[in-house]
Structure 1
Amino acid sequence: MTNQEIAKIFYEIASYLEMQDIDFKPQAYEKAAMNLETLSEDVEEIYKREGLESLKKIPGVGQSMAEKIVEYIKTGKIKEHQELKKKMPVNIEELTAVEGIGPKMVRDLYKHLKIKNLKDLEKAAKAGKIRDLPHFGLKTEQNILEGIEFLKRSKGRFLLGEILPNVYEIIAQLKDLKEVKQISEAGSVRRRKETIGDVDILITASNPKKVIDYFVTFPGIVKIWGKGPTKASIRLKEGFDVDLRVLPEKQFGSALQYFTGSKEHNIILRKIAMDKGLKLNEYGLFKGPKMISGQTEKEVYNALGMDCPEPELREDQGEIEAAQKGKLPKIIGYKDILGDLHCHSNWNGGENSIEELSEEAIKMGYQYLGISDHTKFLRIEHGIDEKQLAQQRKEIDKLNSKLKAHNSKLRILQGCEANILADGSIDIKDDALAKLDYSIAGIHSQMKMPKEKMTERIIKAMKNPHVDI
């Protein structure tokens, strides 16, 4: 979890530097933070094994940032980060979580109204103090209040993509214990909901006490809510709670079904069981006092006269009726994905060459790989122009010939991620777009236009015959 912690600090440093109108450095910190977030190995392990020089091999990490990573590994903090926080004593993470508020707006709010946190911001907005600030206005004040309300509604919930790496890491650590026999996440994580409240993990183990004792010593725990012989609940410094339950093997399936949910799905399932003269709970499926199934989920569903639906389907949206008829839909899995049309190479915003991306695509079983680098309007991302697109085409053609010679199923497609300018035109000439296999167009600037103007802008871009996505 060290990677996520350092990435968070780097993002905050970037924000503090942006407040000071410092050029380039904020983007450098953001780039390093993004690469740390997606790193497959913990930086602390890399440093322990190979030293400081190995950290400089991480894309976007130079000598200075490598030293800061080492500083955090050794002390748990970064001096520059602490000093920047003293100069601007605001909760940057909390304030920038409000949609539309960036670092420079945080700076201005602090400068004029001494706003340090979300509470201060809401108080000032409700009092009508923000509308009179330079470059703000009534509409901005209203947007801020709407953003605060949205945050309140989603408080205590985490994006699936943010929480999954932590869940996988916890499961991997528990799997390393020889006492652990079966293990699975449950709840909304297992159903792959967009946002997650807390995390449920179920296991069977030969020595429950040893597993529980190990679980409550995990690094990053800020609070232990409870600890018993077969259950423990902790809070991690990332802000979410994790409940671990150790179950008897014969109950693992029924417990997994129960704790996976959803609540609505389970209510219908229990009613079906009752109609059959059975009782269903987390301990198993019973006929009177006798347990008739519970070791696996499939066993439980089959005993109720239906197929076992995938966790992602269990929302009481027709999946039970489909399961009873043997007509459950097939969920699209990773192996069903034949390609990707939105990949950035090291021609601008990406870290890998087109050849390296194609090698990875082959490993993933892809049949096509679309290279869609940013175009010239995005100078900060080193956007490429018409001449560079022509040069890139030569490289792609050469690689495709090489792939064909090796009887590879993969074909590399050339696209681009072009910019929709304020008037709806595209920043790349039509004759250059026409030579591409496809093109993506998106808005990367002037995102706060009036609705009518923005609609006209989008429609004009959509009418361009060379824009595909």
Structure 2
Amino acid sequence: MLIHNTDVATIFNQIADLLEIKGDNPFRIRAYRNAARTLNTLAFSVQTMVKEKRNLTDLPGIGIDLAGKIVEIVTTGTCALREQLHRELPSSIHELLNLPGLGPKRVKALYQERNIQTLDQLYSSACNGQIRNVPGFGIRTEQRILEAIRAQQSKKKRYRLDLAETIAGSLLKYFQASPHVRKIDIAGSFRRRQETVGDLDILISSSHPDSVIQHFIKFEEIVQVLAQGKTRASVVLRQGMQVDLRVVANVSFGAALYYSTGSKAHNIAVRTLAQKRGLKINEYGVFSGAQRIAGETELTVFQSVGLPYIEPELRENRGELAAAQAGTLPQLIRLTDLAGDLHAHTKASDGQHSLREMAMEAKNRGLSYLAITDHSSSLTITHGLDAQGLIKQMNEIDALNAELDIKILKGCEVEINEDGTLDLPDDILERLDIVVGAVHSKFGLSRERQTMRIMRAMDHPCFTLLAHPSGRLILEREPYDVDMHQIILHARQRGCFLELNAQPSRLDLSDTYCMMARSEGVLISVNSDAHSIFDFDNLRFGIGQARRGWLEKDDVLNTLSIDQLLAAIARTRCHR
């Protein structure tokens, strides 16, 4: 696992914040903040120092204790002290620390005096005049808190990737009608396949930029033109999304695409490499003095600084440059690598199509196997299956398997009860090919209880796969408080697997946890969670998230052949 200096610094700053909320020794708190500042300014990698067994205490402000924690973070990706502090304080308290005017001391007072843990609780308390009487606050502070929350809420809206993709598709189709468009691409966070997008950045190469701009501002979805020039234009669409267009000459298209794809941190790191070679990179190309030496394609931009091509999903300055220089960039998974899908629903619970229809659609999509995983009965809102209903479905699957040229696996999305037990009797679970455990209730359990709940479920000998592990809904619901690093380590010990749920409302696991699972050798299953035949389209979103998480084909469970998959599942049942 590649750990950047900023990753270590972030953890140290989080520890300092949490220690300050707890009222710890101010000298200890200051030591963590100073160490974080040192790490953020280093020109070399502490991970490399650890690998080379160099003395970390030679760094300014780094003593023996902090040096040990740097080694721990570089080795494991986390820090036991931070995890301990997270267990002692609610994880949501971090969102209070991000509010202007609220430092750790005030957050501590709000937590101790009013048990305020979230922004919503803070806003409600401030509106009701319950903050002004907290020691160290007052009416003016209460008012400033309200203003800060409202300002934060009014920040530029973000959009889920599926909506952004729909808008982008309509724009690409619209530009096909222009004879002056030579090349076109959508850049920015959309191209990097981030799970949410703030705006769309369109890049076009053309020898008639004025005509392209004029064509663009006639797009029928535009409700406001923010800016219009000879080579640039910015508009707001009906959905509220801003779209920025840039038109460049073909000779600069690669450089402009690279520049506008980002991320900012990645671009800065590459420009630093260029500067060491006496080069300059901008949106017009790569220059040696006044001479353009590269820029028509992105590949030439990378080659100019001695790097191989780096896929857009990796460009987050999370170690991709070091990997590129070392020749260890991952060969990222592709949609065509998937051999099957291990999470799908039918009319038997909350799906929209029959068992046969789902199987036939999966076959038409080129998949060789499909796990049918309707909900178990305790999730009443989905009309889940009880034992008898599941037995009936298993018999239907046997009949279809004798008929269809696709392997249908008998499965169930089984509820993980609050105590960690599974919502089906063992004699039924043992008859299933795959048991997908899921949390759909009691999201408010403490971090320790939620983590223990899930780990106990994973310990069941029939347990195969943890569905949507954090329970989040993007832009709708925060993840429940769980120690995901501990879950990943437990999955490794137990020999079971984690899901990357490809629903664009979930994309759960996050990219960072995918990276962590990969580093621990835990296989991820990229599943559609299809509730209709159309939902198999979700797989492409899951693949985008997997690529952001550095996953290769061999890191993904459902790239295995059916025989390999069944053998892998059988091994999970040997861990009793």
Q: Give TM-score, length-normalised by structure 1.
A: 0.64
Counterparts of residues 167-178 of structure 1 (less than 5 Å): 167-178=168-179
Match of 2:256 in 1: 255
Match of 2:425 in 1: 429
**Residues 278-318 of structure 1: per-residue CA shift (max 9 Å, x gap):** 22211111222222221111122223222111011112223
Q: Is the 8 A contact 2:207 2:249 kept in 1?
A: no
Structure 2 match to 1:205: 206
For 2:169 and 2:439, how far apart are their aligned partners in 1? 34
**Structure 1: which 5+ residue stretches go unaligned?**
1-97, 99-118, 132-144
Give me the whole-angstrom Cα distance separating, in 2, the residues matched to 1:168 and 1:245.
17
Amino acid at match of 2:211: K
Kept in 2, the 8 Å contact 1:175–1:183? The answer is no
Distance 2:303 2:401 in 1: 49
Q: Does 1:401 align with 2:402?
A: yes
Q: In 1, are the aligned partners of 2:178 and 2:215 still within 8 Å (CA)?
A: no
Q: In structure 2, the residue corresponding to 1:173 is in which secondary structure?
A: helix
Structure 1 CA distance for aligned equivalents of residues 460 and 171 of structure 2 = 49
Cα 1:273–1:344, aligned 2, differ >3 Å: closer, same or farther? same
Match 2:440 to one of 441, 444, 468: 444
Secondary structure (helix, strand or coil) at the match of 2:434 reads: coil
Matched residues in 1 for 2:121 and 2:458: separation?
39
What residue is the counterpart of 2:353 in the other structure? 352
Aligned to 2:461: 465
Higher relative contact order structure (alpha carbons within 8 Å, sequence separation ≥ 6): 2
How far is the alpha carbon of 1:351 from its aligned partner? 1.5
Paired residues of 1:306 and 1:326 also in contact (CA < 8 A): no
Identify if the C-alpha distance between structure 1 residues 367 and 129 changes in structure 2 by more than 3 Å, giving closer, same or farther. Answer: farther
1:323, CA displacement in angstroms?
2.6
For structure 1, which segment, 157-166 or 413-422, has the greater mean C-alpha deviation from structure 2 after superposition?
157-166
The 2-side partners of 1:454 and 1:264 are apart by 35
Rate the CA distance shift 1:460–1:322 in 2: closer, same or farther, 3 A.
closer
Q: Residue 324 in 1 paired to residue 325 in 2?
A: yes
Q: Is the 8 A contact 1:265 1:315 kept in 2?
A: yes
C-alpha distance in structure 2 between counterparts of 1:371 and 1:151, whole Å: 43
**Please, which of 413, 416, 426 is the counterpart of residue 417 of structure 1?**
413
Q: How far off is 1:416 after superposition?
A: 0.6
Once the two structures are TM-superposed, the CA of residue 421 in structure 1 deviates from its matched residue by 3.1
Structure 2 unaligned blocks of 5 or more: 1-94, 96-118, 132-145, 466-576
CA distance in 1, matches of 2:375, 2:151: 32
1:126 aligns with 2:126: yes
Aligned CA distance change for structure 1 residues 154 and 452 (closer, same or farther; 3 Å):
farther
Other structure's SS at 2:440 match? coil
Distance 1:446 1:181, change over 3 A: same
Structure 1 residues 450 and 256: CA distance shift in structure 2, 3 A: closer
What's the RMSD between the two structures over aligned residues?
3.0
| Cα 1:290–1:415 shift into 2, 3 Å | same
Judged with a 3 Å threshold, the aligned counterparts in structure 2 of structure 1 residues 126 and 181 are, in CA distance, closer, same or farther, namely: same
Shift in Å at residue 203 of structure 1? Answer: 0.8
Shift of 1:455: 5.0
Contact in 1 for aligned 2:421/2:457 (Cα 8 Å):
yes
Distance 1:425 1:179, change over 3 A: same
SS in 2 for 1:258: helix
Match of 1:286 in 2: 287
Aligned length: 332
Moved more, 443-452 or 176-185: 443-452
Q: Which amino acid aligns with 2:428?
A: A
Contact 2:192–2:261 (CA<8 Å) still a contact in 1? yes
Q: Distance in 2 between matches of 1:342 and 1:179?
A: 45
* Cα separation, 2, equivalents of 1:288 and 1:191: 31
Shift, 1:437, TM fit: 0.4
On the 8 A contact 2:410/2:432 being kept in 1, the answer is yes
Question: How far, CA to CA, are the matches of 1:325 and 1:453 in structure 2?
Answer: 42
The residue matched to 2:402 in structure 1 has which SS? Answer: helix
* Residues 129 and 425 of structure 1, relative CA distance in 2, 3 Å threshold: farther
Partner amino acid, structure 2, of 1:307: P
8 Å CA contact 1:306–1:325 kept in 2: the answer is: no
**SS state of the match for residue 219, structure 2?**
coil
Q: Could you tell me how far apart the structure 2 residues matched to 1:273 and 1:120 are? A: 46
Match of residue 36 from structure 2: none
Report the AA paired with residue 161 of structure 2: L
Q: Name 1:241's counterpart in structure 2.
A: 242
